[in-house]
Amino acid sequence: MSEMLFESPAELAAYAAGRVAELCQKAVAEKGGCHLVLAGGTTPRLCYELLRQMPLPWASLHIWFGDERCLPVGDAERNDTMADAALLRHVPIPAAQIHRMSAEEGPESAAAAYAALLAAAPVMDIVLLGMGEDGHTASLFPANPALTDVRLAVPVYNSPKPPAERVSMGYTALNAARHRILMVTGKGKADALARIRAGERLPIAAIADGEWLMDRAAMGSTD
Ligand code: 6PG
């Protein structure tokens, strides 16, 4: 586990984009390809917008999603809709290498389909993750049965963050990846971060060996 502190979300996003680019180029140089798992929510958007300006070996990238919201295809609130707008629409990644979650089909069927895709895929190279104010990550929420589901992709019900039904990569897939980068910004996250640093096992705390990127506001610093 490593921690880095940044003055602002913009500085954090710039570092994160550079780090992802570095790891992508390394994976492509070593193995001929890179499997990158995108985070949802709002925090990673700036990182994606910076990443699209970088000369990455886009044709050698495979894109996966850490979680998705069970909404119709193209819905503005879907994580892949955000990723399309901020990154995927702007870079030449072959459509067949963008592995969307079929969350529109509902949690069970989408999770089963994605788990099958993941089982046939190599280990993920890079996983990007955000954190919610309750310490959730991807769609792994406190006290939710999805936390103990060992499948590669898991159905999620009763999410406290709308929509209630989601699909998430499980800890099994997330912790098997080569690198995990956790991006946490804003004062709304300070309470959960303090609880985690005090040893509370909030869902994100079960992410193994993460590169924690945090801004001053999330660390509770007001100056
Ligand atoms: C989602 C996300 C979720 C997100 C956190 C943080 O679908 O909502 O995958 O895990 O990363 O809730 O969200 P923000 O970045 O918007 O604060």
pLDDT, residue 133, reads 98
| Cα 132 to ligand 1 centroid, rounded to whole Å | 6
Asked if residue 213 lies in contact with residue 39, where contact means CB atoms within 8 angstroms, the answer is: no
Q: Check whether 4 has a pLDDT greater than 60.
A: yes
Quote the strand ranges of 60-204, DSSP E.
61-65, 67-69, 126-129, 153-156, 166-169, 179-184
Mean pLDDT of 76-84: 98
DSSP class of residue 137? B
Between CA 102 and CA 110 the distance in angstroms is: 5
What mean pLDDT is reported for the chain? 97
List pLDDT tens digits, range 171-187. 999 999 999 999 999 99
List pLDDT tens digits, range 23-53. 999 999 999 999 999 999 999 999 999 999 9
Do the strands 166-169 and 67-69 form a parallel or antiparallel pair, or are they unpaired? Answer: antiparallel
pLDDT-derived band at 220, boundaries 50, 70, 90: confident
Tell me the one-letter amino acid at 101: M
| Cα 42 to ligand 1 centroid, rounded to whole Å | 6
pLDDT-derived band at 98, boundaries 50, 70, 90: very high
Between CA 196 and CA 219 the distance in angstroms is: 11
Is there an atom of ligand 1 within 6 Å of 81 CB?
A: no
Nearest atom (ligand 1) to Cα of 44: 15
| Cα 30 to ligand 1 centroid, rounded to whole Å | 31
Asked if residue 124 lies in contact with residue 170, where contact means CB atoms within 8 angstroms, the answer is: no
Is there an atom of ligand 1 within 6 Å of 71 CB?
A: no
Whether the predicted model's global pTM rises above the 0.95 cut: yes
pLDDT, residue 222, reads 60
Is there an atom of ligand 1 within 6 Å of 210 CB?
A: no
Q: Check whether 206 has a pLDDT greater than 70.
A: yes
DSSP class of residue 95? G
Mean pLDDT of 125-152: 98
Mean pLDDT of 86-102: 98
Tell me the one-letter amino acid at 155: P
pLDDT, residue 1, reads 82
Q: Check whether 223 has a pLDDT greater than 60.
A: no
